[in-house]
Amino acid sequence: MRPEHSGEAAVTIDHPAWAASLPTPGRHDGLPGVSPGAVCRLDPTRDEVRHLLSGASALVPLVGRGALRVTGADRVDFVQGQVSHDVRGLASGGVREALLLDHRGRPQADLVMVRREHDLYLAVDDGRSATVRAALDAHVVFDQVVIEALDERLASFVLSGRDVLETLGQTLGVERLPVSPELVLQVPWRGADVMLHARPRGLEASLDVHLLSEHLPPLWSLLEAAGAVVVGERALAAARVAAGIAAAAAEGQEALPQESGLEPRVSYRKGCYLGQEIMARVEARGSLRRSLARLTLAGAPEPGTAPVVEGSDGRVVGRVGTVAPTLEGGWSALAVIRNEIGGDQALRTLGRDARLAARPA
């Protein structure tokens, strides 16, 4: 059991299906890397981070995950002109991660795009579906598109661990689940489809699962009965930090995708979209002053301290996006810091001394 962070506060869950599926009141710890309104921790008696990082089966409720459905004859061309990655190149059933950028090229939201026969499904992380919806709505002029919010009609969660395929397959009554990060798999269950795909969330295998809200409580109960343990999003953040996987709402704040480890979600050949001119300049210039780094902290973060990273002279050299416990019982963080900073330099962030441990590739 890890000591409770003194900055914790109760989380009110408005989504009806999650309120029914999570009887234990959730907590948010106030630390960077998990969006406000998400559940960081559920069971104060369990070391949730250790459970997930050990590779055991874990269920992570994505309470803040939203979803949009885009239909209409112009849906593919319209979304193609709004996001950072290629939509036209997706085959039916294809999955691709992308970003919504602002005019400065700064990420505003992470998206997972699924192209289906009659629509585009956009899963939006970190409580930012309203931001994406507003941005898309603002650019509809004569386009034949309809943008529909599905936040309460659908629910999403992560199933993580060494045995995720066996656990979910047995629960859904499917002998084999041929999942991949490039294709979505739709499995019939109780008269509707459960949509799932592989998505890197850490060092262990993990699946993103999407389903109708009314089907969440029964499937959730079956997965728990199969041995999966429910953990909060701080454990998922710890997996991201250990694997060096960035998020737009965390490391992407006030940083370019190329600086914050989000460049794989950008296409340089897809044509015009908001922020594309900045992406082209970065590609042409070929050099950056900052990059993603993993830091080791000398202790637990102090509540209320700023996520800036300072050098020994007090100069700001970077910014922490996510901080989380480690499997060994320490604390680690993902940050965007200046490239001249080396592992031998003393740093300070979140009220603690820190060192650069690695720069994820």
14-63: pLDDT as tens digits: 898 999 998 777 899 999 999 988 999 988 878 999 999 999 999 999 99
Do 236 and 305 lie in one domain? The reply is no
The answer to whether the CB of 354 falls within 8 A of the CB of 332 is no
* End position of a domain, from candidates 198, 220, 243: 243
Please name which of 168, 176, 248 lies closest in space to residue 211, comparing C-alpha atoms: 168
Do 239 and 100 lie in one domain? The reply is yes
Give first-to-last CA distance, the chain, whole Å. Answer: 32
Provide the pLDDT confidence category of residue 2 given band limits of 50, 70 and 90: very low
Cα-based distances in Å from 32 to 135, 233, 290, 335: 25, 12, 19, 10
Do 189 and 254 lie in one domain? The reply is no
The answer to whether the CB of 99 falls within 8 A of the CB of 266 is yes
Provide the pLDDT confidence category of residue 3 given band limits of 50, 70 and 90: very low
142-198: pLDDT as tens digits: 999 999 999 999 999 999 999 999 999 999 999 889 988 899 999 999 999 999 999
To the nearest whole number, what is the mean pLDDT of the chain? Answer: 94
For residue 328, pLDDT over 50 is answered with yes
Do 162 and 206 lie in one domain? The reply is yes
61-114: pLDDT as tens digits: 999 999 999 999 999 999 999 999 999 999 999 999 999 999 999 999 999 999
- Predicted structure pTM score: 0.93
- The strand pair at 58-61 and 229-230 is best described as parallel
Do 197 and 65 lie in one domain? The reply is yes
Q: Which CATH number does the domain housing residue 308 bear?
A: 2.40.30.160
Tell me what pLDDT residue 5 has.
45
109-142: pLDDT as tens digits: 999 999 999 999 999 999 999 999 999 999 999 9
The sign of the torsion formed by the CA atoms of 19, 192, 110, 76 equals negative
Residue 152: count of CB within 10 angstroms of its CB: 14
